[in-house]
Amino acid sequence: MARELETALLRSFVTAVRAGSISRAATQLGQTQPGISQQLRKLERAVGHPLLHRSSAGVAPTRAGEELLPYAERILALATQALAETGHALSGHCGIGLLEDLAASHLPQALADLARLHPDATLEVLSLSSATMREAYDAGRVQLVLDELPYLPGPPRWTVRRPLAWAVGHGVELTADPLPVVLFSGTCTWRSSVLEALSQVDRRWRIAFESDSLAGVLAALRAGLGVSALLPANLEPGMVCHDQAALPALPDVELGLTRHPRTDGDPLIDAVAAVLRRMV
């Protein structure tokens, strides 16, 4: 019998990874925790591999889970778009400002899929500093901005909390004292979150590397310079922390979407905003 990937099972898997917990996923989906666990086991049987590491601290994707995640998110996004937008051609231009960590994940592919469905529409994805993003927003080049709440150029239309996950560099010993950490430089809120989490458990640390870009942080992790905090979607194979008890729990990050008030009622902006909401 041919194996199939049911969208309901994929939705449970994606929600569990995003939430970092099966119980939180059950709450978000309005189902029971045993029901979600049963769906995840069914999906693992269909794929033929374990998809989640389970521990008292929550869940994290296995290597097979990391490989499945972008496909699952894209399948769910396409299914929703196909139902909502078939027969409704969209046109015009939409500038989307994204937090770099989101621009490096699955979101651009989902937006590209939307653009493919509507060839008369032009989508422009920008990842800029908060000051430059505000200028682009005020000038009308960017109509939607998805970023951390403190850096939004206007009041959010909606907000969402997403977990951060520890990323472990190649060969890094989690028992090292002090623990080497790789941080985003500047005033990044994730930087303070990492240091505060370590300080709360009296864990000594040292800054091994800093960068103002996700590319720089990932390069340092690949080089084995330390540990860092990332969105789960940006964890590369081999960076997942399998010993959850070795490091303290990290706080969630709060994201929000700002929409330029002059775009209310624009069907293209509506469609793009809906894609961002579903994917985040």
Least confident of 126-130, 211-215, 242-246: 242-246
68 and 107 together in one domain:
no
pLDDT of the residue at 234 = 86
Residue that finishes a domain, picked among 40, 61, 81: 81
In a domain, 140, yes or no: yes
Model confidence band, residue 211 (pLDDT cutoffs 50, 70, 90): very high
pLDDT of the residue at 86 = 55
Average pLDDT for 245-256: 90
181-207, pLDDT tens digit by residue? 999 987 678 888 889 999 999 999 999
123 and 157 together in one domain:
yes
Is the pLDDT confidence value at 225 over 90?
A: yes
71 and 95 together in one domain:
no
Residue that finishes a domain, picked among 45, 63, 81: 81
Is the pLDDT confidence value at 257 over 90?
A: yes
Least confident of 85-89, 135-139, 250-254: 85-89
Peptide bond connecting 150 to the previous residue in cis, omega within 30 degrees of 0: no
Is the pLDDT confidence value at 7 over 70?
A: yes
Exposure string over 109-122, b if 16+ CB within 10 A, otherwise e: ebbeebbebbeebe
69 and 115 together in one domain:
no
Residue that finishes a domain, picked among 64, 81, 98: 81
Number of domains in the chain: 3
pLDDT of the residue at 21 = 87
In a domain, 99, yes or no: yes
First to last CA, the chain: 34
For residues 46 and 42, what is the distance between their CA atoms, to the nearest angstrom? 6
171 and 245 together in one domain:
yes
Is the pLDDT confidence value at 152 over 60?
A: yes
Which helix (H) or strand (E) segment holds residue 158: the answer is: strand 158-163
Is the pLDDT confidence value at 1 over 50?
A: no
Q: What is the CATH number of the domain that holds 143?
A: 3.40.190.10
152 and 187 together in one domain:
no
47 and 184 together in one domain:
no
107 and 223 together in one domain:
no
C-alpha distances in angstroms, 215 versus 49, 71, 233? 30, 22, 14
pLDDT of the residue at 109 = 77
Q: For residues 156 and 257, is the Cβ–Cβ distance under 8 A?
A: yes
110-122, pLDDT tens digit by residue? 788 788 778 888 9
Is the pLDDT confidence value at 79 over 80?
A: no
44-72, pLDDT tens digit by residue? 998 889 999 888 778 888 988 888 988 88
Domain that holds residue 29: 7-81
In a domain, 255, yes or no: no
Amino acid at 70: P
Give the mean pLDDT of the chain. 87
In a domain, 200, yes or no: yes
